[in-house]
Amino acid sequence: MTLIKSISGIRGTIGGNVGDNLTPIDAVKYAAAYGTWVKQQRDKTDYKVVVGRDARISGKMIQDLVMNTLVGMGIHVVDIGLSTTPTVEVAVPMEHADGGIILTASHNPKQWNALKLLNANGEFLDGVEGAKILEIAESNTVTFSDIDNLGKITKNKAYIDLHIIEVLDLPLVTVNPIEEARFKVVVDGVNSTGGWAIPLLLERLGVEVIKLYCEPNGHFPHNPEPLKEHLTELSKKVVEERADFGIVVDPDVDRLAFVDENGEMFGEEYTLVACADYVLSKTPGNTVSNMSSTRALRDVTEKYGGTYQASAVGEVNVVKLMKQNKVVIGGEGNGGIIYPQAHYGRDALVGVALFLSLLAERKTSVSELRNTYPNYFMSKKKIELTPELDVDAILETIESRYKDEQLTTIDGVKIDFPENWVHLRKSNTEPIIRIYTEAKSQSEADALADKFIAEISDIAEPDN
């Protein structure tokens, strides 16, 4: 099994050996390192950290370990319990807290969990901050508090409602037109907290909700990554119910994908494209997404006179470039909407509200809306890493082979060909190499991905 220690958090599989997996001892170790880092940020007497989790089976165990570690360090904890990643991000500044921890492994299967770490703004730590926490964890310099200075745990279960209120108060979220449209929507909550939060938001908007796997018990009914091959039941249910469309989120509700009224995928890459289309039509400006995201966002941005730029993969990298460029909307092509008017974090609740506002304004079906956007097709494949695979050497070889093409190397290797592109990179969250391609047809995108998988195999095993 696996423990991945990176600047984006601590992610691993439950059980097994200490240091090789996310065991209770590892959870305590990294929570204590984070608590130490929080105390280093400012000199004060009272520290506060918000902690929430998705519904995965190991969540309560890991949350109890994390919270009581912080208590042992004299840090007060606001326990918001079952929640979403964007809700914890919203709660941190509301609580005037010093940071936040979300217990979630996002789209990973049920055997995984993770500590996602936030700063006092409710935003993910940057590379320098994340590296510091890893350094503290290995230094054995953590100090715990004496009996008279322990922290306390306060429960607050109101934050899903408070988050929804903030979404409804956004100027571009048109509550009355959405109510008048009388939408009917199927929601696949993958038996995590999205099955609670998304229907609550929709009901507040007057949307009729058909629930599919919306019991937050952590027993994921299918692979929780919101990809086409995992959503056959949602597609079938949308057609059976004659719904306007379907919604699916990942377990911590920072990724969002849609199924149209015919049961066809809208395309998770196009979640951001559609939301950006709506926002840019009201507030023209610039956009940012990561290097593995569709070119369609660039096309839509330029249609409204704005400029598009791509960052390295990772929410913190997207946010950093968004702030530098003062963009009006950005995110990631995996269905992650970052709308600065709300907060600097991927937020499926914000995405749902903006998408509904767009549909209510244009009075169009989801399939018709999709047909208004440039038609690109993506292939997302991966290669499992083995100890003998030298990823850096492989990418250097690819870079050398394609040195005459348009290359970007800030995050792996991206090769922009005139009609398509390929992006090869080592994942921050799984022991894999990701191979993303985009082209004018699905067959071309798949063929390009297969071509580079074959090249990587030849480089790794030249004698085979």
Local structure of residue 263 (DSSP, 8 states): S
| CB proximity list for 53: less than 8 A, separation 6 or greater | 59, 60, 62, 63, 81, 82, 83, 102, 103, 104
Domain boundary among 370, 402, 429: 370
CATH number, domain with residue 435: 3.30.310.50
**With a threshold of 0.85, does the pTM exceed it?**
yes
Residues 142-182: tens digit of each pLDDT: 999 999 999 999 999 999 999 999 999 999 999 999 999 99
Each residue of 376-410: pLDDT tens digit? Answer: 999 989 988 787 788 889 999 999 999 999 999 99
Domain extent, residue 300, equals 163-370
CB 119 within 8 A of CB 13: no
Q: What is the pLDDT of residues 201-248, one digit of tens each?
A: 999 999 999 999 999 999 999 999 888 888 999 999 999 999 999 999
Per-residue pLDDT at 287: 98
Average of per-residue pLDDT across 133-143: 91
Reading the block at residue 407, the tokens are 């290359």
Residue 103 near residue 175 (C-beta atoms within 8 A) = no
Residues 321 and 428 in one domain: no
Whether residues 290 and 146 share a domain: the answer is: no
Task: With cut-offs at 50, 70 and 90, classify the pLDDT of residue 457.
Answer: confident
**In terms of Cα–Cα distance, which of 97, 34, 41, 21 is closest to 69?**
34
Say yes or no: 130 and 189 in one domain: no
Q: Over 70: is that where the pLDDT of 8 sits?
A: no
- Residue 384 bridge partners (DSSP): 432
Looking at the fold, whether 405 and 342 belong to one and the same domain comes out as no
Do 178 and 276 fall within a single domain?
yes
Say whether both 29 and 150 belong to one domain: yes
Token code pair at residue 388: 């003998």
Give CA separation, 303 vs 313, 355, 396, in Å. 25, 19, 36
pLDDT at 458: 87
Same domain, 434 and 358: no
Specify whether 443 is catalytic: no
For residue 441, which phi and psi values (nearest 5 degrees)? -145, 155
Any residues with CB less than 8 A from the CB of 86 and at least 6 apart, and which? 163, 253, 254, 343, 345, 346, 347, 348, 349, 350
How far out from the chain centre does Cα 230 lie?
A: 17
3-class state of residue 276 by DSSP? helix
Q: Which residues pair with 416 in a beta bridge?
A: 406, 421
Q: What is the mean pLDDT of residues 30-41?
A: 97
Which listed residue (58, 106, 292, 293) is catalytic?
106
d(CA 427, CA 434): 6
What percentage of the chain exceeds 70 in pLDDT?
Answer: 98
Structure tokens at 248: 């699916």
Instruction: Please determine, for residue 439, whether its predicted confidence score (pLDDT) is greater than 60.
Output: yes
Tally of structural domains, the chain: 3
pLDDT in tens, 46-78: 999 999 999 999 999 999 999 999 999 999 999
Claim to verify: residue 172 and residue 150 sit in the same structural domain: no
DSSP secondary structure, 356-416, as one string = HHHHHHHT--HHHHHTTS---EEEEEEEE--TT--HHHHHHHHHHHTTTSEEE-SSSEEEE
Report the residue count for the chain: 464
Domain end: 97, 128, 157, which one? 157
Do 436 and 453 belong together in one domain? yes
pLDDT attached to residue 463: 57
Residue 101 near residue 116, CB atoms below 8 Å: yes
Neighbours of 382 (CB within 10 A): 15
The CATH number that applies at residue 241 is: 3.40.120.10
What tokens appear for 272 in the block? 């951001």
One domain, residues 172 and 138 = no
Contact 137, 324 (CB under 8 A): no
CB 104 within 8 A of CB 53: yes
247-281 tens-digit pLDDT = 999 999 999 999 999 999 999 999 999 999 999 99
Judgement on whether residues 101 and 27 belong to the same structural domain of the protein: yes
Domain boundary among 370, 403, 418: 370
Q: Are residues 146 and 167 in the same domain?
A: no
Q: Model confidence at 140, in pLDDT bands (50, 70, 90)? A: confident
* CA separation for the pair 314, 94 (Å, rounded): 25
